[in-house]
Amino acid sequence: LNKAIWYPILYGLVLTTRPKKSGANYARIWNREKNESPLRTFTRAQAEKLTQAFGDLPDVVVDWAMLYGNPSTASVAQKLVEQGCDRILSFPLYPQYSAT
């Protein structure tokens, strides 16, 4: 849309109502016990379960990272290298785009 049309809609309606609604929805699903987002909770839990599943393989290290958050992918990769890992398998858990 033309800025003359879009900006009043954006600043008059969208940005004055959406944050409150989104905030209320996030409050409903937020992990208050650990004060973390659901994405972080589920990702951490998956890593913990994989660690248990590979528990009989001492050379396998399981960790997790976030592309746009903490712990960052770079910091976790560096930590794994410092622990002596020389082969690292990485795979995305939550694709943001799919053309299927």
pTM above 0.85, yes or no: no
- pLDDT for the residue 92: 85
Residue 60: its pLDDT value, please?
Answer: 96
The tens digit of pLDDT for each residue in 10-19 reads: 999 899 988 8
* Residues 47/63, Cβ–Cβ less than 8 Å: yes
pLDDT digits (tens, 9 = 90+) for 30-74: 999 999 999 999 999 999 999 999 999 999 999 999 988 899 999
- The set of residues, in sequence order, having a beta carbon less than 8 Å from that of 71 and lying 6+ positions away, is 64, 65
Residue 11 DSSP code: I
Measured CA to CA, the distance from residue 28 to residue 25 in angstroms comes to 5
